[in-house]
Amino acid sequence: MRSVSATVRIPQGIHAAIAHGLHREAGRFESSLFLKHGARTASLGSIVAILALGVERGAEIEILADGSDEAAALVAIVGFLDELAT
């Protein structure tokens, strides 16, 4: 299992459209992907679970990946979030 920390810089935080995009990106990989915010963790396989975290702009998150393509999956998820922050 690998993980990477990030600060959410998306102006509106992680809302429904972002959660859907995270879910879609995660579906491209064999690895299991998770988003951790505070003491709570959500699978990127569940849009509702992602939204339930209530991640706002400026929040510190951790992205976790477990599987054969975990390094590539982490790069893709971080890239997706960074792309939306601009």
Residues with a catalytic annotation lie at 15
How would you classify the pairing of strands 2-7 and 60-66?
antiparallel
Q: What is the CA radius of gyration of the chain?
A: 11
**Residue among 5, 18, 27 nearest 73 (CA):** 27
Tell me how far apart the terminal alpha carbons of the chain are, to the nearest angstrom.
29
With both helix axes pointing from N to C terminus, report the angle between 70-84 and 16-26 in degrees, rounded to the nearest 10. 150
